Amino acid sequence: MGRLTGKVILVTGAGAGIGRAIAIQAATEGALVTVADIDASACAAVAAEITGQGHAAQAQPLDVTDPFRWTEVTDGIAATHGRLDGLVNNAGIQLSRPLLDTTLDDLRRVFAVNLEGTFLGTQAAMRVMRAAGQGAIVNMSSTLASHPLALNAAYCASKAAVTQLSKVAALEGATSEARIRVNTIHPGVIATPMVEREIADVTRERGLSSDAEVRAEWHRLCPLGIGQPADIAHGAVYLLSDEAAYVTGTELAIDGGHLLT
């Protein structure tokens, strides 16, 4: 408890799944959390859940593909709290579709959220953090950034790009004027609404009447089976905390052994 006491943290895609778990865990550890999501009612519900537990949180609707909204949110946090200590770029979408059936618009939609949203968030946060001389950014990548999976061309490519973007940001953030740390988390298969949709999509692509076969296959992808959002949240808290003060540019795999297979 208290590993993030007093830190001002912004989490995107926090209305459900991994983002929700990170926002709750960060608040439990003492952070002042801004819960951001394109779904205004979802982020409001998570913020209410956090404050109901006696912790500090506010909701901010945020379309991560909108650069003007990013400026509004980050400038608003800086005006209210005087700084932004940490950002978790967690918002993302996934598309399960054969490569030959993936349209250019499909690719652009996945990249708009997963890559461009992360780019805009990293840029906006670094501008605010530079004024304070410090900060920590955690960008959500995936084991699929380096471990390709059929039917996931757009998603795999977007997460590989997020990883490389984050490494460049880590190099540029580690200056004499500011120590802005940038790291990526690479989850394995995690029990989230997005994974449930993926299982449903693959089941439909294969023409199956039940998702049992696909669900069992996804469970086997990771030696430790399907993980929980809290598993990722613990890693995010570490990277946001002062315990990781000398950690930047790293790829933290929290994957149940997926990269071993």
The residues annotated as belonging to the active site are 155
Closest by CA position to 160, among listed 144, 140, 184, 173? 144
Give the position of tokens 């304070």.
Answer: 132
The rounded Cα 133 to chain-centroid distance in angstroms is 23
Specify the amino acid at residue 169.
Answer: A
Strand partners, 33: 9, 57
Non-local (6+) Cβ contacts of 202 within 8 A are 96, 151, 214
Token reading at 167: 């490494």
Cβ atoms 148, 156 nearer than 8 A: yes
Cβ atoms 247, 239 nearer than 8 A: yes
